[in-house]
């Protein structure tokens, strides 16, 4: 185990959580490229000094140009095509695009469509969060190979049955103690042994279990529980997606949400199918996901000691109530920072959003502009290593700012806004989590501790339970609406020339679509995606983006396998294929100055 | 036009061509490994303890797989995670050794790149590609896994990564429409220079960028790919020892040779002339045919209605949504991707793509005698015109509904000209004509010089 030393990582989090750095303190350049277990292509370039990150550059490596593809097409086409930004959160893109389309059309969707959309959006949140926690993030904390290797015989060529039985028994006891769901641990060990003895590593190829960050702290039993639930989660995320499939035809990339409402017709037959799955998911989240969070977190209290970031949060809000007011959404909209003090949430103002491209591969005059007036043109400066310039342009991602400052988006942002707006469910569960962490740490930890890699990770799991709870309500609400004759699902456009903005949430955070249409044809389309906020590069003033800021001061003991840094990156659940986008050049120049209409030759 | 990839009819023949013996291959196959006494014969080294190897043993009972993610939305990986029988966990633990996957791998950065490198060196792996290649900015529109040194700048381009990974692969499976032909990213104006794997590799080889034989390519269209399709191809290749029979776009014949329309459960309503003209209507609640609101089922080849999605639960049309034709691919012509050919999705199609010819349906109806085409088009105006029903209703030049909803009406010859997509296609045709005229001029001029 590394010696624990208390350092001030970034800004002080207001806690006394120890951060693990070990002697000898390492120095040098540490690059994670590609970052794994995320959506898209992300590069982390860190300068490490005396065992902590001293400076960092986060770079998105893919340019696709969605907005340009949408121009000249129709709002319904934009709804279908823009989903293809992201296969993890297509539903959110569909809905945000729909809202932009509906505002342009001058309409509001009927009540039935509102509830149906909440349900399919909710299903996607459950899918995304379950998959993220167990199948993407968990492998930074859980080592699935350790339990099986611990029960092999001395020759290492077969399972020692007595050892395996003992471990399975102990694991069952621990699961019961922790209040998390048990599994057939003996069968699991046998299955894993079949895999391990074959000797091919499959998804564990090139793993970081031996990182000199020395950070896999779980007891063998908890590793085995985590592995069992990794496999269960693969099943449960698919069950969540089945709900999206029932409503949307297929998932990823649903078909039924279009500007005006939904093509899905709720019936007794399909509502029944949805409700059964919602109940099953809610039970699993309650009995497995939440207890796992509680069981694992105390072993990783040090993870609460780094990764604070900018400590300012945006949430546009998601899941409409009948009022359709974003401030009243089930997960409400708002902007909040620790500097504002508990309870002081402001509502967002679209005019305060700006973007700069000083450090991005786009032409730029350094002026922050509102996305509605974006003036950006791709510009990759050279076909050699000089194109990547830490002191200049180093990413395809742009730098969005709210009120001129970097803000974090995501589950933690939504929960902190809801917490500060006094949402009872969220407040109750956050306070319970803080009490649990305090008792594990032996010291009182306040809401400040949430501004950390651990806080970001745990908050998302509380949100998962909240959404599952709401979905059960919504099925009931839809049944009542059907009975009461208030379940219409579609509204025709009132006009076909106009302009509108959709501000909604993807599982990864605040999502923004803006469009202008003339005679039902899109003349301009703008998108700002949650990860654009989070993986933002420096702005014109040299201020780092939220993920860059969160990585500052993170301990690194292993330059090749910087596990603490990787955990911090994963805690944002980044989605970089989403994040890269461009605006229409408003300069009057056409895009063909950069590329021929039929692609770059 | 580049030549078609030569597809070995038998996986074994193909392996032999690549210098992999039958015996080597047997070692890779699930179920066969045990009969070779592999586990007894070899020192039972444990998982990650193997010296210098980050992938464990090079061979074993699992077939090594490299899953490259390029310009993609990760939707095909997400879709793969929805598979059942076998589910995703069974696939990666008991069927394949997924040595490289940006989304699922435990490792990251340098050690993950090393895993890919060791797998390529060992050979005999399947290469799965998700997402399009990006040629924009000399291939810098997509960069992955760069260690920061000038020497490795070139090899971190997505295009070069695919070339390298293809060099020693037993076969390439392009999962999804993007890997097959560039997908939506290649739609006009194709800002990042998207192109499919097959077209790129053939072009690069023709340009002399490499000299290895391009392995057999299997395209699995749809956006995203259906996990049932992907798993079926894996089973074909790994267990049945064959490359599935492929159609003209190198997609498995048994999945992509019939029209969605022909297997659609709403086909009866189509035959009866019962259509949904408006969402939220009584016709919609009755589950009538979605042809009038733009369904692309009659021109899209896939077995979606049979295989369905999300564990066979549902599919697009059954959720009341018209097919948007995402299974359409043209591997050698990325500008004829599914978005370009099918948008606007919720209008009845304005141009028909028949053997690469884009024609206005109203012209086809009168000018072409082919029953299938005429039937398809005439349905838009009134089913009975086809002649299937003798003495049918008089031909409606314009439906009443269309006059009320001009924006959704079937485009007339004039209207088609105002449609962005039609314009693009016309431009493309013009450009093709010009460039071919130019090149013929050039060659004749050259000939003259000589």
Tell me: do B305 and B396 sit in the same domain.
Answer: yes
Distance separating alpha carbons of residues B116 and A107, to the nearest angstrom: 51
A11 CB contacts (<8 Å, ≥6 apart)? A308, A311
Give the rounded percent of residues in chain A with a pLDDT score beyond 70.
92
Reported as a single tens digit per residue, the pLDDT across A28-76 is 999 999 999 998 899 999 999 999 999 999 999 899 889 889 999 999 9
- Whether residue B180 lies inside any domain: the answer is yes
B 105-144 → A contacts, CB under 8 A: 105-115, 119, 134-138, 140-144
Q: Do A33 and B144 touch (CB under 8 A)?
A: yes
Q: Specify the pairing of strand A334-337 against strand A312-315.
A: antiparallel
Beta bridge mates, A354: A401
Tell me: do B276 and B215 sit in the same domain.
Answer: no
B 309-338 → A contacts, CB under 8 A: 309-311, 313-321, 324, 326, 334-335
> Closest residue of B to A582, CA-based?
B191
Contact A91, A120 (CB under 8 A): yes
Contact B59, B124 (CB under 8 A): yes
A517 to chain B, minimum CA–CA distance in Å?
Answer: 13
Tell me: do B143 and B216 sit in the same domain.
Answer: yes
The partner residue sitting opposite B314, judged by closest CB among A204, A249, A263, is A249
What ranges make up the beta strands (E) of A377-422? 377-378, 399-402, 408-409
Tell me: do B208 and B344 sit in the same domain.
Answer: no
- Position B409 pLDDT exceeds 80: no
A 370-409 → B contacts, CB under 8 A: 378, 380, 383-385, 387-388, 396
- Whether residue B4 lies inside any domain: the answer is no
> How many structural domains is chain B composed of?
3
> Closest residue of A to B61, CA-based?
A198
Contact A408, A545 (CB under 8 A): no
Residue whose tokens read 């942002």: A413
A307 HSE (CA, 13 A, CB side): 29
pLDDT the model gives residue A23: 73
Tell me: do B149 and B199 sit in the same domain.
Answer: yes
- Whether residue B262 lies inside any domain: the answer is yes
- Whether residue B333 lies inside any domain: the answer is yes
Q: What is the CATH number of the domain that holds B16?
A: 3.40.50.700
pLDDT the model gives residue B428: 55
Task: Categorize the per-residue pLDDT at B376 as very low, low, confident or very high, splitting at 50, 70 and 90.
Answer: very low
pLDDT the model gives residue B429: 56
Q: Do B185 and A65 touch (CB under 8 A)?
A: yes
Tell me: do B315 and B336 sit in the same domain.
Answer: yes
Structure tokens that stand for B251 in this block:
């997609």
Among B251, B272, B294, the domain-final residue is: B251
Contact A96, A501 (CB under 8 A): no
- Whether residue B3 lies inside any domain: the answer is no
**Alpha helices (runs of H) in B242-396, residue ranges in sequence order:** 253-256, 267-271, 282-285, 304-307, 338-342, 361-367, 371-381
Q: What are phi and psi for residue B149, nearest 5 degrees? A: -95, 150
Distance separating alpha carbons of residues B394 and B379, to the nearest angstrom: 13
Distance separating alpha carbons of residues A95 and A496, to the nearest angstrom: 19
> Closest residue of A to B112, CA-based?
A206
Q: Which of A200, A230, A253 to mutate to test the interface with B (most CBs of B within 10 A)?
A: A200
Reported as a single tens digit per residue, the pLDDT across A388-408 is 999 999 999 999 999 999 999
Reported as a single tens digit per residue, the pLDDT across A49-61 is 999 999 999 999 8
Q: What are phi and psi for residue B435, nearest 5 degrees? A: -65, -35
Name the nearest CA neighbour of B103 among A39, A14, A6, A147. Answer: A39
Reported as a single tens digit per residue, the pLDDT across B163-180 is 999 999 999 999 999 999
Tell me: do B105 and B247 sit in the same domain.
Answer: yes
pLDDT the model gives residue B285: 95
Distance separating alpha carbons of residues B263 and B258, to the nearest angstrom: 8
Q: What is the mean pLDDT of residues A473-500?
A: 96
- The torsion defined by the Cα of A452, A453, A456 and A458, in degrees rounded to 10, comes to -110
pLDDT the model gives residue A51: 95
- Whether residue B228 lies inside any domain: the answer is yes
- Whether residue B15 lies inside any domain: the answer is yes
- Whether residue B201 lies inside any domain: the answer is yes
Q: Do B136 and A599 touch (CB under 8 A)?
A: yes
Q: Where are the domains of chain A?
A: 60-136+235-284+299-549+571-593, 140-233
Beta bridge mates, B98: B65
CATH code assigned to A60-136+235-284+299-549+571-593: 1.10.645.10
pLDDT the model gives residue A21: 73
Q: Do A200 and B279 touch (CB under 8 A)?
A: no
Tell me: do B215 and B337 sit in the same domain.
Answer: no
State the residue range of the domain holding B366: 256-414
Tell me: do B81 and B208 sit in the same domain.
Answer: yes
Residue whose tokens read 């000797």: A199
Among B203, B225, B251, the domain-final residue is: B251
Tell me: do B21 and B168 sit in the same domain.
Answer: yes
Distance separating alpha carbons of residues A229 and B207, to the nearest angstrom: 50
Q: Which uninterrupted H or E stretch holds A53?
A: strand A52-60
Q: Does A441 touch chain B (CB under 8 A)?
A: no
**Reported pTM:** 0.86
Reported as a single tens digit per residue, the pLDDT across B332-359 is 999 999 999 999 999 875 544 444 444 4
pLDDT the model gives residue B387: 33
Tell me: do B29 and B93 sit in the same domain.
Answer: yes
Residue whose tokens read 């694992």: A296
> Closest residue of A to B105, CA-based?
A203
Q: Do A249 and B319 touch (CB under 8 A)?
A: yes
Q: Is B260 exposed, middle or buried (0-12, 13-18, 19+ CB in 10 A)?
A: buried
Q: What is the mean pLDDT of residues B69-86?
A: 94
ipTM reported for the complex, 2 dp: 0.93
What are the C-alpha distances in Å from A68 to residues A9, A232, A326, B394, B411?
Answer: 41, 41, 29, 44, 24
Task: Categorize the per-residue pLDDT at B256 as very low, low, confident or very high, splitting at 50, 70 and 90.
Answer: very high
pLDDT the model gives residue B22: 42
A 456-485 → B contacts, CB under 8 A: none
pLDDT the model gives residue B407: 56
Q: Which of B146, B182, B192 to mutate to test the interface with A (most CBs of A within 10 A)?
A: B192
Tell me: do B153 and B64 sit in the same domain.
Answer: yes
What are the C-alpha distances in Å from A89 to residues A39, A67, A126, A254, A454?
Answer: 10, 17, 11, 10, 23
- Position B49 pLDDT exceeds 60: no
Mean pLDDT of chain A: 91
């Amino acid at each position: 185990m590394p010696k624990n030393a208390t350092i001030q990582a970034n800004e002080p989090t207001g806690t006394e959580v120890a951060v693990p750095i070990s002697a000898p303190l390492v120095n040098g350049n540490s690059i994670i490229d590609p970052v794994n277990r995320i959506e898209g292509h992300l590069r982390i370039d860190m300068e490490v000094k005396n065992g902590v990150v001293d400076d960092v550059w986060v770079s998105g490596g893919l340019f696709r140009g969605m907005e340009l593809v949408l121009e000249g097409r129709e709002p319904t086409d934009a709804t279908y095509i823009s989903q293809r930004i992201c296969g993890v959160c297509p539903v959110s893109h569909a809905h945000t695009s729909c809202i932009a389309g509906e505002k342009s059309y001058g309409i509001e969707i009927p009540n039935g469509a509102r509830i149906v959309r909440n349900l399919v959006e909710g299903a996607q949140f459950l899918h995304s969060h379950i998959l993220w926690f167990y199948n993407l993030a968990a492998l930074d904390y859980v080592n699935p190979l350790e339990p099986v290797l611990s029960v092999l015989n001395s020759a290492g060529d077969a399972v020692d049955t007595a050892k395996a039985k003992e471990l399975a028994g102990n694991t069952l006891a621990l699961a019961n103690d922790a209040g998390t769901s048990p599994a057939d641990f003996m069968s699991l060990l046998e299955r894993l042994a079949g895999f391990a003895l074959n000797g091919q590593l499959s998804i564990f190829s090139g793993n970081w279990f031996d990182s000199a960050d020395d950070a896999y702290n779980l007891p063998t039993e908890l590793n085995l529980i985590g592995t069992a639930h990794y496999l269960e989660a693969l099943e449960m995320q698919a069950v969540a997606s089945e709900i999206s499939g029932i409503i949307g035809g297929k998932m990823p990339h649903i078909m039924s949400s279009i500007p005006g409402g939904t093509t899905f017709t709720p019936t007794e037959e399909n509502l029944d199918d949805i409700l059964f799955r919602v109940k099953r998911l809610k039970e699993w989240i309650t009995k497995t996901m939440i207890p796992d969070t509680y069981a694992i977190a105390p072993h990783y209290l040090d993870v609460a000691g780094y990764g604070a970031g900018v400590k300012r949060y945006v949430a546009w809000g998601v899941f409409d109530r009948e009022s359709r007011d974003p401030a009243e959404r089930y997960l409400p909209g708002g902007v909040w920072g620790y500097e504002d003090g508990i309870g002081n949430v402001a509502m967002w103002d679209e005019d305060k959003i700006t973007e700069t491209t000083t450090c991005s591969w786009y032409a730029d005059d350094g002026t922050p502009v509102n996305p509605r007036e974006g003036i950006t043109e791709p510009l990759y400066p050279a076909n050699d290593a000089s194109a990547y310039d830490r002191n200049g342009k180093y990413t395809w991602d742009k730098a969005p700012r709210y009120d001129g400052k970097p803000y974090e988006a995501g589950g933690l942002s939504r929960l902190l806004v809801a917490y500060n707006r006094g949402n009872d469910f969220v407040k109750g569960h956050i306070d319970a989590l803080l009490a649990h962490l305090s008792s594990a740490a032996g010291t009182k930890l306040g809401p400040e501790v949430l501004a950390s890699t651990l806080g970001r990770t745990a908050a998302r799991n509380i949100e998962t339970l909240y959404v599952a709870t709401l979905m059960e309500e919504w099925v009931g609400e839809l049944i009542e609406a059907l009975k009461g004759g208030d379940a219409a699902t579609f509204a025709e456009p009132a006009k076909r020339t106009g302009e509108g903005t959709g501000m909604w949430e993807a599982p990864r955070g605040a999502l923004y679509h803006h469009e202008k249409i003339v005679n039902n044809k899109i003349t301009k389309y703008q998108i700002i995606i949650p990860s654009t906020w989070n993986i933002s590069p420096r702005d014109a003033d040299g201020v780092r983006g939220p993920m860059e800021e969160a990585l500052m001061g993170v301990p690194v003991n292993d330059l090749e396998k910087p596990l603490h840094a990787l955990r911090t990156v994963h805690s944002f659940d980044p989605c970089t294929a989403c994040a890269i986008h461009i605006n229409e050049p408003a300069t009057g120049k056409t895009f063909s100055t950069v590329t021929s209409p039929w692609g770059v030759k | 036009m580049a030549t078609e990839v030569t597809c070995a009819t038998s996986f074994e023949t193909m392996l032999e061509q690549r210098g992999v013996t039958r015996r080597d291959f047997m070692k890779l196959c699930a179920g066969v490994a045990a009969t070779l006494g592999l586990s007894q014969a070899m020192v039972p080294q444990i998982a990650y303890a193997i010296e210098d190897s980050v992938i464990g043993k090079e061979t074993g009972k699992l077939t090594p797989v490299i899953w490259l993610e390029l310009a993609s939305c990760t939707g095909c990986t997400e879709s793969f995670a929805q598979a059942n029988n076998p589910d995703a966990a069974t696939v990666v633990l008991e069927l394949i050794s997924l040595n490289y996957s940006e989304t699922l791998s435990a490792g990251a950065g340098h050690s993950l790149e090393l895993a890919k490198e060791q797998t390529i060196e060992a050979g005999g792996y399947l290469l799965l590609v998700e997402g399009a290649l990006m040629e924009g900015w000399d291939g810098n529109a997509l960069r992955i896994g760069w260690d920061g040194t000038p020497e490795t700048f070139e090899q971190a381009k997505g295009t070069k990564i695919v070339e390298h990974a293809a060099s020693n692969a037993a076969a390439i499976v392009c999962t999804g429409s993007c890997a097959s032909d560039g997908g939506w990213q290649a739609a006009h104006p194709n800002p990042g220079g998207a192109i499919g794997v097959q077209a790129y590799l053939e072009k690069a080889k023709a340009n002399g960028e490499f000299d290895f034989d391009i392995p057999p390519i299997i395209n699995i269209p749809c956006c995203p790919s259906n996990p049932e399709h992907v798993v079926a191809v894996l089973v074909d290749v790994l267990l049945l020892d064959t490359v599935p029979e492929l159609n003209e776009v190198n997609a498995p014949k048994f999945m992509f040779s019939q029209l969605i329309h022909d297997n659609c459960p709403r086909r009866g309503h189509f035959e009866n002339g019962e259509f949904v003209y408006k969402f939220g209507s009584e016709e919609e609640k009755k589950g009538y045919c979605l042809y009038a609101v733009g369904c692309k089922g009659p021109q899209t080849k896939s077995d979606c209605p049979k295989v369905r999605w999300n564990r066979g639960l549902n599919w697009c049309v059954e959720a009341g949504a018209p097919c948007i034709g995402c299974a359409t691919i043209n591997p050698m012509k990325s500008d004829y991707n599914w978005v370009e050919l099918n948008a606007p999705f919720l209008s009845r199609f304005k141009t028909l793509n028949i053997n690469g010819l884009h024609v206005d349906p109203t012209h086809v109806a009168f000018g072409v005698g082919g029953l299938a085409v005429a039937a398809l088009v005439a349905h838009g105006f009134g089913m009975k015109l086809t002649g299937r029903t003798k003495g049918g209703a008089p031909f409606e030049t314009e439906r009443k509904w269309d006059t009320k909803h001009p924006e959704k009406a079937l485009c007339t010859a004039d209207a088609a000209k105002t449609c962005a997509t039609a314009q693009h296609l016309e431009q493309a045709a013009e450009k093709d004509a010009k460039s071919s005229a130019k090149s013929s001029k050039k060659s004749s001029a050259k000939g003259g010089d000589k």
